[in-house]
Amino acid sequence: MQLALFIQSVINGLNQGAIYALIALGYTMVYGIIRMINFAHGDFIMVGAYTLFYTIPLMISAGMPAWLAVIVAIAVCVIVGVTVEVVAYRPVRGQGSMTALITALAMSLFLENLAMVLFGANPKSVPAIFTLPTVNFLGATLQTKYLLTFGIGAVIMILLQLFVKKTKLGKAMRAVPQDKEASTLMGIHVNKIITTTFAIGSGLAAVAALMYCSTYPRCTTDMGSMMGLKAFIAAVLGGIGSIPGAMLGGLVVGLIEIFVKVYIAPGWYEAITYGLLIIVLLVKPSGILGKNVGEKV
């Protein structure tokens, strides 16, 4: 029984962690390229979740699998993410980091309140996305959909890492933050690369929304800021700007959340997560996998 609970917690923790990791990737990629914390990123998940809420019934009535709704959610999130970048962030770029930060907070509030006007303040129940059986494994009851979401998360992260390391566009995404002027001289259109980064981050938020809704089938207008905060912690813990760091940070935060809830007390997990964050930042301010890049003279 002890072992069963442990295994169940590991699976649940990995599932939760994979969701945070996908969201954290959005924070870290945007930070990596323009050194800005996109506080509206969490709200992109909310946008994705509401899109799922409205499109899943359409998919089902059309006789298609419910999860296909994620394609619509990705499209909507990418449009919202890119619009926020082009309309709100690009005009204030170069006006200082404080301006960018406040603009991001404003966008977050704007999206949440816009959602409240459009969708109402009452929580919505998202229909079941995956109907998969539970299996017994060493006495533990495992939800196979958790394994599936964790698998999706892992595959996306591996693909993203390959994309950034191996493809021309991915390399350009790494080149731009290192030297914007040199990137321009190489023929890289810096604004296009930044917009692409936002598109990828927002698309990942839509996938995270799918994974979240399959675990907790409910959407509220403030769900994004809550999850966004935890994912932001994950990104900082792993080392903001580092893609593997975001994945590691997400998994750590997810596992801590579940394990503390199960083994200590449900109310304690935030205190322990933030405590760990403080310790990591004291010992290694750049985060677990973050690189301390010295300012160039």
**Sole window of 4-12, 69-77, 181-189, 195-203 interacting with other proteins (rule: CB under 8 A):** 181-189
Beta strands in 129-214 (DSSP E): 134-137, 140-143
**Given CA atoms 20, 26, 27, 33 in this order, what sign does their dihedral have?**
positive
> How far, in Å, CA of 82 to CA of 47, rounded?
13
Contact with other proteins (CB under 8 A) among 60, 171, 229, 288 = 171
Q: Which of 150, 196, 197 is nearest to 20 (CA)?
A: 150
**Given CA atoms 184, 188, 192, 193 in this order, what sign does their dihedral have?**
negative
**Given CA atoms 61, 128, 202, 228 in this order, what sign does their dihedral have?**
positive
Binding flag, residue 186, other proteins (CB under 8 A): yes
Question: Smallest distance, Å, CB 26 to other proteins?
Answer: 21
**Sole window of 37-45, 136-144, 188-196, 198-206 interacting with other proteins (rule: CB under 8 A):** 188-196
Binding flag, residue 90, other proteins (CB under 8 A): no
Helices (H), 62-189: 69-83, 97-119, 144-166, 168-178, 180-185
> Rg (Cα) of the chain, in Å, rounded?
19
Binding flag, residue 183, other proteins (CB under 8 A): yes
Binding flag, residue 284, other proteins (CB under 8 A): no
**Sole window of 57-65, 112-120, 127-135, 172-180 interacting with other proteins (rule: CB under 8 A):** 172-180
Tokens 């927002």 sit on residue: 202
Question: Smallest distance, Å, CB 177 to other proteins?
Answer: 9
Question: Smallest distance, Å, CB 184 to other proteins?
Answer: 5
- Compute how many residues bind other proteins; rule: CB under 8 A: 20
> How far, in Å, CA of 89 to CA of 153, rounded?
28
Contact with other proteins (CB under 8 A) among 187, 266, 283, 295 = 187
Question: Smallest distance, Å, CB 217 to other proteins?
Answer: 42
CB atoms within 10 A of CB 213: 28
Amino acid at 88: A
Binding flag, residue 295, other proteins (CB under 8 A): no
Question: Smallest distance, Å, CB 198 to other proteins?
Answer: 18
Q: Which positions lie near other proteins, rule CB under 8 A?
A: 168, 171-172, 174-175, 178-179, 181-190, 291, 293, 296
